[in-house]
Chain A
Amino acid sequence: KNEVEQSPQNLTAQEGEFITINCSYSVGISALHWLQQHPGGGIVSLFMLSSGKKKHGRLIATINIQEKHSSLHITASHPRDSAVYICAVRPSENYGGSQGNLIFGKGTKLSVKP
């Protein structure tokens, strides 16, 4: 079983819809990252969070440390949001964590239709 699980694997939405992508993890963590990857490969960091909630424009990320679960929400989705969204966790020290050792989920491929 992967240490980081994302759902759904694929998601198709109509422009304007509210989108939720979920991430569950099984290790203790010091931080969780949400990343965006466009075709061609480049990865952009959207959020890094260790508790609570963060908002940036139409994107909202939440995390529940006790339940080992995080969600990424996109409000008023747009075709330019189409990308792969990846959840990655940084294991805490007692799980062998360090600055570099991110564990990634397989990603959620989002397609937003006009």
Chain B
Amino acid sequence: DAGVTQSPTHLIKTRGQQVTLRCSPKSGHDTVSWYQQALGQGPQFIFQYYEEEERQRGNFPDRFSGHQFPNYSSELNVNALLLGDSALYLCASSPPLGPEHYEQYFGPGTRLTVT
């Protein structure tokens, strides 16, 4: 089992550009959550996808959007990049309802640098 995987590992973009980050959940998991972690801070919840729909959203602008595919993988899109979007973007997956439903398994993250 590969666990949660994310791509790319690192990314450098210019202010104003758009970026797409990808996440494949752990096998058997159907829910994907995205977090942004600025340097020296704890992660902040961006949004969560379940059954190909955004189920809950944190306090992030509409420039942040996402998608979940039928195979449960997910994308995070950020438009009109700002310098402040530079961060580690973490994806976490969760299993369907059951004893481990509230557990979250994190991927290695994508380090985004906006110049």
Contacts and interface: CB of A to CB of B under 8 A. Distances in A.
Interface in A89-114: 90, 98-107
Interface of A: 4, 30-31, 33, 35, 40-45, 48, 86, 88, 90, 98-107
Interface string B20-50: 0000000000010101010011111101100
Chain A facing B: main interface SS = strand
Given A98-B56, A100-B31, A101-B58, A30 B102 contact: yes
Contacts, number: 69
Decide if the interface of chain B is mainly helix, strand, loop or mixed.
strand
B52 to A, nearest CB: 15
Given A41-B37, A45-B106, 10 more contacts: A42-B106, A42-B107, A86-B42, A98-B55, A99-B102, A101-B45, A101-B48, A102-B104, A103-B45, A106-B40
Contacts of B105: 45
A14 to B, nearest CB: 25
16 contacts: A30-B102, A41-B88, A41-B111, A42-B106, A43-B109, A45-B104, A48-B103, A86-B42, A86-B43, A99-B31, A100-B55, A100-B56, A102-B45, A103-B45, A106-B41, A107-B42
